[in-house]
Amino acid sequence: MNTPLKLSLYGLGLVAVFAASLGAGRLAGPAPAANEPEHSPASGHGAHPAPAAQAQVPGGLQVAQDGYRLRPLTDELSTSRARPLRFQILGPDGAPVTAYTRTHDKDLHLIVVRRDLAGFQHVHPALGEDGVWQIPVEATAGAGQYRLFADFQPAALGRGLTLGVDVPAAGTYRPRSLPSPARTASVDGYTVTLDGDLVPGTSSQLTLSVAKDGAPVTDLQPYLAAYGHLVALRDGDLAYLHVHPDGAPGDGRTQAGPRIVFHAEVPSAGTYRLYLDFQHDGVVRTAAFTAAAGAVATAPTDPVPSPSGHGHSGGH
């Protein structure tokens, strides 16, 4: 029962994925095992997702969905300085949406990335009374076509949406090839290590461990109500997945590093770029990884059916 539910939730974006992740985390408890009991039923069906589930479209691929539309009001980004980027979310009535349900401390999360997956930025625009979102943005990777993802929950909808649109930055485009899959990423003296593999169609555990100058970081700071935010973009079409970690700051069991544990479910085999936002010493940094799902994801060990797993399937 878990699998169709999780797969059908897949296209619903942040909130649904978050809920599924929370559920997995809660059911899994603190056990570090890669294959939690509640995933045993899923693995039994994983190779045969229901047709209805396959029809679900991942987030971020559409400029309009479920009556809502992302309307850019800025037609170009600058490669030399931050300039105001403006846009609206139009509702089913065609009017700009001004009422949002806050998710992770913000009414709207904006991801900006060049289409070759370079220059990732996760920022939070301000909403004007006229329903116009605005924030200064620079095309930090240089000229090229940029993808904007607006990740939000209209108050009237009751669940999250992620809409995407392209905006160009003029100039000579010098595409960067995607870095090879790697288990470590460095940013500003921090090294982040990735454990776990993405498995198409199945929630799998990813553990990201943060170290600075070789020493584990144990005093990560809460950023937007979590110790880490993970965005995954699929290479090729930039399908979008936003995952929040198991546990929250202040819940009495979640430690402030060095490990941040996520449960992520990607919709297909392929190559993904993972971006981890974390905060330490008052600065938010992003560590980026390339990870392959499917082809190179070797199953660690088959989950051993556990008697304790039987009671979990109704938990979601």
Q: 109 vs 115, which CB is nearer to Cu ion? A: 109
Report in angstroms how near the CB of residue 105 gets to Cu ion at its nearest: 8
Q: 49 vs 245, which CB is nearer to Cu ion? A: 245
Alpha-carbon span 284 to 227, nearest angstrom:
11
In the three-class reduction of DSSP (H, G, I as helix; E, B as strand; rest coil), residue 38 is classed as: coil
Instruction: Give the 3-state secondary structure percentages of the chain, helix then strand then coil, rounded to 5.
Output: 15, 40, 45
Report in angstroms how near the CB of residue 106 gets to Cu ion at its nearest: 5
Residue 12 one-letter amino acid: L
Alpha-carbon span 238 to 62, nearest angstrom:
11
Q: Which residue is nearest to Cu ion (CB)?
A: 109
Q: 109 vs 312, which CB is nearer to Cu ion? A: 109
**Cα angle 98, 245, 199; round to 5:** 110
In the three-class reduction of DSSP (H, G, I as helix; E, B as strand; rest coil), residue 314 is classed as: helix
How many other CB atoms are there within 10 angstroms of residue 211's CB atom? 16
Report in angstroms how near the CB of residue 263 gets to Cu ion at its nearest: 19
Alpha-carbon span 25 to 264, nearest angstrom:
11
Q: 50 vs 126, which CB is nearer to Cu ion? A: 126
Q: 69 vs 109, which CB is nearer to Cu ion? A: 109
The residue count of the chain comes to 316
Q: 191 vs 286, which CB is nearer to Cu ion? A: 286
Interaxial angle between packed helices 2-10 and 14-28, expressed in degrees from 0 to 180 and rounded to the nearest 10: 150
Residue 15 one-letter amino acid: V
Pairing of strands 108-114, 83-90: unpaired
Residue 244 as a binder of Cu ion (CB under 5 A): the answer is no
Q: Which of residues 189-218 bind Cu ion (CB under 5 A)?
A: none
Report in angstroms how near the CB of residue 151 gets to Cu ion at its nearest: 7
Binding mask 98-137 for Cu ion (x = CB under 5 A): -----------x----------------------------
Q: How far is CA 206 from CA 91, 109, 211, in A?
A: 35, 22, 16
Q: How many residues bind Cu ion (CB under 5 A)?
A: 1
Q: Which of residues 295-314 bind Cu ion (CB under 5 A)?
A: none
Report in angstroms how near the CB of residue 103 gets to Cu ion at its nearest: 9
Report in angstroms how near the CB of residue 241 gets to Cu ion at its nearest: 14
Q: 53 vs 278, which CB is nearer to Cu ion? A: 278
Report in angstroms how near the CB of residue 229 gets to Cu ion at its nearest: 7
The contact set with Cu ion (CB under 5 A) reads 109
